[in-house]
Structure 1
């Protein structure tokens, strides 16, 4: 049985840990609220923008060619996992990393065997693990989290679009966590490029009441690059909100576990202390009886 000193040391250690996890929980809660607001603002905008493009593109002629929707043979693949720079957020990062490994081993097994799968990470956690596992991490944008805004995110989106435009990559895939609530994140794997545009096959209402100047093809060519940047910005905000929600939930559970452990340790300490006092009393009584004899 551990001594009173050992139990006291452990109690102090757990108290310190609980203070840290409680502080991290409050910090994440404050950041989570802002990230949640950002998501609530951008989701309707992106949804409406995608809806307009979806309906207009369905009315285009079959011979219409758009650079960003060009289908190619999947020879060269770029995976973009969006993780976090810090840990202590449950399975948030692990899920992204596992999905990237699954894509390399299953969906793009042939390309990976030919060393034609590159990885560009956003977040130190994915970069560290994927490099350690021997995957081809060519670059990172971990600095993005120091100042997340549309301008900084659009630079990364532009970089991806240029890589696709010059045919450096035939397909670009994003892997990230979509925000649902503070406790639940949905892992998403989305094809960023080529952009999938619908065809008017009768199932989609291709009629529209938009007034387009000068014409639909010109409008589509002009708006899609900006739309791609906006959609990529939404992905980053989704991941950011998911990260703070996951960390807040994880630290809340850790704080509760520390509180429960403190109760158990305090009970163990009281029992040990009571046992030590009882032993001392017995020794005193035994010593007194020995002196009387």
Structure 2
């Protein structure tokens, strides 16, 4: 009897866990849909801006310190920004990003000697455990990064880069490809790498600029840097929600399987108990006959 009661308690605990993970899966699915919509809404603007920068940068005589680099920054260390999550229960999401981070820091001397900044509590914990000196922990972005906050951060990086504080800025995050595929990426934010000119684009075409191309690049390139960083934040959030949705679905399915296994075990234990009781009754009746 005691064994049956113990199994029944475990069945109840597993059922409660399954209800929790199912609820978390539904919440993650809802958040994923909203985050994906926000990410897709900004992508056409970012792609158009990158295409424009690529065309302008490919013209003869076009130059800008955010493209070619700053002379006084040469030989300086790199600044690395890592985008992780505030919460766990999202499968291999943080682990994949942090493994890519550690590989990058070990293989790039400029990165290992430079400042490391992190978004997300989970990344901060793991980096400190691995004895990585975290120069700054950003806490303002949360689940819904606002463009104004990302813009301020990007402008700060631009100003510090032009001042010659570091030779480059790289962002390590989870790039969203599709609901079934996400990949950790090391993105070079500064110096900015414009898109190559699309195939079939006109060549040797003379444009007349007003204002001149230098002033135009000076306005468009910072906007492109900010847009690319914002897109990275959006991709990171979408990827996190996908990972959590998949992890909670797996946990729900596993809890369901465990519940069924415990139910079979309970039935066998109950049958054995009934058989034992019947045997004892029959034996007692036979002894009295």
Please, what TM-score do these two structures have when normalized by structure 2? 0.91
How many residues in Structure 1 have an aligned counterpart in Structure 2? 285
Tell me the SS of whatever aligns to 2:136. strand
Q: Displacement of 1:75 after TM fit?
A: 3.2
Aligned counterpart, 1:70:
69
Q: What is the aligned partner in structure 1 of residue 107 from structure 2?
A: 106
How much does 1:142 deviate? 2.7
- Pair 1:49-2:46 in alignment: no
Look up the match of 2:134: 137
Question: For the residues of structure 2 that align with 1:209 and 1:13, how far apart are their CA atoms?
Answer: 73
Q: Are positions 1:191 and 2:188 aligned together?
A: yes
Partner of 2:224: 227
- Match in the other structure for 2:18: 18
Is there any run of 5+ residues in structure 2 with no aligned partner, and where? Answer: none
Q: How is 1:172-183 mapped onto 2 (pairs within 5 angstroms)?
A: 172-183=169-180
Structure 1: which 5+ residue stretches go unaligned? none
Q: Distance in 2 between matches of 1:174 and 1:89?
A: 21
Residues 251-266 of structure 1: pairs in structure 2 closer than 5 A: 251-266=248-263
Most deviating of 202-211 and 153-162: 202-211
Question: What secondary structure is seen at the aligned counterpart in 1 of 2:189?
Answer: strand
Which residue does 1:59 correspond to in 2?
59
4+ aligned runs moved over 6 Å, structure 1: none
Give the 3-state SS of the residue equivalent to 1:185 in structure 2: strand
Q: Does 1:214 align with 2:211?
A: yes
Tell me: CA distance 1:203–1:74, structure 2 relative to 1, closer, same or farther (3 Å).
farther
- Aligned partners of 2:236, 2:140: CA distance in 1, in Å? 15
Contact 1:82 1:176 in 2 (8 A): yes
Cα–Cα, structure 1 residues 280 and 209, in superposed 2: closer, same or farther, change >3 Å?
Answer: farther
Residues 140 and 149 in structure 2, CA contact (< 8 A), matched pair in contact too: no
- Partners of 1:255 and 1:185 in 2: CA distance: 22
Question: What is residue 32 of structure 1 aligned with on the other side?
Answer: 32
- State how far apart, in whole Å, the 1-side matches of 2:196 and 2:249 are: 48
CA RMSD of aligned residues (A): 2.3
SS in 2 for 1:139: strand
Aligned partner (choices 121, 124, 148) of residue 121 of structure 2: 124
Structure 1 residue 239 corresponds to structure 2 residue 240: no
Contact in 1 for aligned 2:171/2:188 (Cα 8 Å): yes
1:148 partnered with 2:125: no
